[in-house]
Amino acid sequence: MFFFQLGKMKTILKTTLCLAPLLLALPGHAAEREWIPYRKLVSELKMDKVYALPAAERDKLIVYAKLVPVNKSIPPSNAGLVVVDGASRTPLTLDAGGRVRVVPNAQWLADDAQIWTSLPKGEKISLGFDLGAVLPETAPWRYANVMGAVPQSNAAIGKVAGAFSLFVPKMKTVIFKFDKPAQMTVRSAGGDKRYASDAKNHVRLKFDEDLLKENPMVEWSERPLEAEIDE
């Protein structure tokens, strides 16, 4: 069963997918059941449209599929998702937040590969996606190199989501996530602007059109673990 919800933040289309009733015990593996065709996952997430965009229109973005069990007592890592293509089995390894990068695989699409799960019968998976910004390996870096991901994400959402983009909040912020207290400095013509991390070791930089045009240097006390694009 499929149904759509208008999501919040980075989730453009959030789908809850019932797991198929078929159950199979495979030698050497835990009991598994067929979930959905790989083609369906790519289509529901609009990943085919994302990667159809010219590279220059998404080169600052990282697009994650987000697959989270509706049952909050089940961590995403326990979903046990595997792409089965004939005799080939490829795990879809989710991080703690349920994220995984899904780049359309032409062979799996052509072979009509299936996705299997080890979740119990009747459990559901919430399906959406998150956006991240590509980080430079070293600092300092130019403001537009990372913060340019904000307008790029809004433009991509408009093209990929179509009419649904009217219901999606505009992305306005990049959240830099560190593993310990950190500081960032934007060295603009109007003077240095310093930002200290919060209690979560996050620094939130709100997108600034004037700074994008000026394109000043940005420094950090250490490289973040990741950068999340948010509203």
Q: What strands, in cross-sheet order, belong to the sheet with 191-196?
A: 141-142, 217-220, 183-188, 191-196
Q: Do 186 and 216 meet the contact criterion of CB atoms below 8 Å apart?
A: yes
Name the pTM for this structure: 0.83
Q: What is the pLDDT of residue 101?
A: 94
Q: What is the pLDDT of residue 21?
A: 36
Q: What is the pLDDT of residue 128?
A: 87
Q: What is the pLDDT of residue 214?
A: 98
Taking the CA atoms of residue 91, residue 94, residue 100 and residue 103 in that order, the dihedral angle to the nearest 10 degrees is 10
- Those residues with Cβ within 8 angstroms of residue 31's Cβ, 6 or more apart along the chain or in another chain: 23, 24, 25, 118
Q: Do 130 and 102 meet the contact criterion of CB atoms below 8 Å apart?
A: no
What backbone phi and psi angles, to 5 degrees, belong to 208? -130, 115
pLDDT under 50: residue ranges of the chain? 1-29
Q: Over 173-211, what HEC string results?
A: EEEEECCCCCEEEEEECCEEEEEECCCCCEEEEECCHHH
Q: What is the pLDDT of residues 147-158, one digit of tens each?
A: 999 999 999 999
Q: Which two tokens stand for residue 114?
A: 């299936």
Q: Which two tokens stand for residue 141?
A: 């870096």
